[in-house]
Structure 1
Amino acid sequence: MNKIEHLENNTDIIVAAHRGLKSDYPENTLLAFQKALESEVDMLEFDLRLSKDGVVVVIHDDTLDRTTNGSGQVSDYTLAELKQLDAGAWFDPVFEGLKIPTLEELCTLLNAYPEVLLNVEVKPSRHAKEVADKAVAMLEDYGYLQRCVFTSFDAAIIAYLHDSYQLKTQGFPAELMTNFDSGPDGTYSKMWVVGISMKLLTPKIVKDFLDLGIKSWSYCPDVDQQVYYSLECGVALMTCNNPRPAMRIRHEIATAAQPLNKEMS
């Protein structure tokens, strides 16, 4: 089994699928995750919220309007009500009938992929701590916890996951987070990794975080130029909407290195 600690000193390109293979399939659906897994990505990133009756579900927005045929707050609907909604046709009519998955359904899918790492994003909400507690318990029950990094834009949740569970966390630059604590024992001290958008990514910001002992991952380098730029900035783990460019470039780099490795051996 792969473990998140294996990334501690990693320099190889690691490719994470952002909300599944969302360039081609409706995001955060089991189909998008299945297709990402079949494409042999290294990591899945997904978003967690809570239904009205306390079930952890996989959906990005706090409302249903963008990615389903429903409307209103996710947390105002029971799981049974959420399961009545269509979560595919908004992307393309061919995907009509796809549903909002539960975390448990995703965990079941992951049984066949023990090497895939997991980036578990707890979305900011009044239920975020409950989501975190339930997600940690379920992922532990499935034996997946050692494969996980936990992400949030809410610095209070980063601190909670770090302090309560001693888990590895991914936060973001201070200006992007709520409840950020700038003190010496504050938010940055509880972050293992920082996620940096392509808009903010520079060699300097990567170095500044490295000086704080925090690794940098990028999101979302979806074309060749962005992948190469991430590498130039010193970033090897990339969370992509479209993983294909990063995976192809990784293959090209590995292939080019093979003759050199043979010469040196």
Structure 2
Amino acid sequence: MLTKNVVIAHRGASGYAPEHTFSSYDMSHFDMKADYIELDVQMTLDGEIIIMHDETVERTAGLPGIIKEMTLEQIKQLDVGSWYNEKFPELQQDFYAGQTIPTLEEVISRYGAVNYYIETKAPEVYPGMEERLVEILDRHQLLTPERLTGNQTVIQSFSLESLIKVHNLVPGMPLLLLTKKEVLRNMTDDDLKQINHFVYAVGPSIKDLDQPLIERMHGIGFLVFPYTLNQPDDMTRLIDAGIDGAFTNYADRLRTAFNAENSEIFEELNRSVD
């Protein structure tokens, strides 16, 4: 079970490659050995679950378009890699151009039964998203008791309502509640304990995190995985303060900060060799 020194590749290796593309996921998974691939999901007009952070395609495709009003066929025509080459010329690669938006099915087909962190983005915009998501995960054998017990398929959201829906659909599903600044601080212990009955971890902003808050969350029973931990100084500060893992655009940096030989993925590799 992944519960310490956990490296969650935020949109893949998005510090080095176009976010939420196979180039980004390949780098974080195969090259950097991140513990989890992190995915944001949206739903198209024709009910397909795609991987995209924004509700529109403008930022990464450079064209107008609202995802809920577009079909998968329309989505698949978009190039979501060229923008990265233009914005980060020092990191550009020719093969980034032409990268397309993957569906959840395509991601699972490519990477199989690896560890996934899946965020329901804007679930209020997409009625039925949770049901469709669970159906796909179940069909691909990603909701087995072993995977759920091992926290290998995790659903996260800023929406507590969305997490409740997922919990009702799959009572054993590991869930993480993402929170914006000050939200956890302003919640009572009683409210947090109620949430902890079905939510195993919290994901606060690094801007809102210090040792007292981490210790309070641990005392209630949560693991703490902040977002988005990219800078070495922040990594050192929060690792020393007691975080259990983090979302990062730089899985290689965070792996180094956690000390690679002590991270759980390396423990598993060593055991398999022995």
TM-score, normalised by the number of residues in structure 2: 0.80
Partner Cα separation in structure 1 for residue 14 and residue 249 of structure 2: 6
Q: How many residues align?
A: 242
**Residue in structure 2 matched with residue 98 of structure 1 by the alignment:** 99
Q: Which runs of 5+ in 2 are unaligned?
A: 87-93, 264-274
By how many angstroms is 1:135 displaced?
1.6
Asked whether 1:120 is paired with 2:123, we answer no
By how many angstroms is 1:183 displaced?
5.0
**Post-superposition CA distance 1:18-56 (Å, at most 9, x none):** 001100111011211111111211111110010010000
By how many angstroms is 1:241 displaced?
0.7
Between Structure 1 and Structure 2, the one with more helix by share is 2
| Structure 1 stretch displaced more, 212-221 or 74-83 | 212-221
**Residue in structure 1 matched with residue 17 of structure 2 by the alignment:** 25
SS in 2 for 1:46: strand
Partner Cα separation in structure 2 for residue 128 and residue 48 of structure 1: 10
Superposed structure 1 runs of 4+ greater than 2 Å apart: 125-129, 172-177, 180-190, 249-255
By how many angstroms is 1:216 displaced?
0.8
Residues 126 and 198 from structure 1, CA distance in 2 versus in 1: closer, same or farther, beyond 3 angstroms? Answer: closer
Name the amino acid aligned to 2:135. A
TM-score, normalised by the number of residues in structure 1: 0.83
**Residue in structure 1 matched with residue 33 of structure 2 by the alignment:** 40
Root-mean-square deviation (CA, aligned residues, Å) is 2.4
Name the amino acid aligned to 2:110. L
Residues 73 and 220 from structure 1, CA distance in 2 versus in 1: closer, same or farther, beyond 3 angstroms? Answer: same
Q: Which runs of 5+ in 1 are unaligned?
A: 1-5, 256-265
Partner Cα separation in structure 2 for residue 83 and residue 50 of structure 1: 13
Q: In percent, how many aligned pairs have the same letter? A: 23
| Structure 1 stretch displaced more, 230-239 or 20-29 | 230-239
Residues 184 and 218 from structure 1, CA distance in 2 versus in 1: closer, same or farther, beyond 3 angstroms? Answer: closer
Name the amino acid aligned to 2:118. V
8 Å contact 2:196–2:221 — kept in the other structure? Answer: no
**Post-superposition CA distance 1:168-208 (Å, at most 9, x none):** 1100347559xx99858854543210002211111111122
Residues 227 and 79 from structure 1, CA distance in 2 versus in 1: closer, same or farther, beyond 3 angstroms? Answer: same
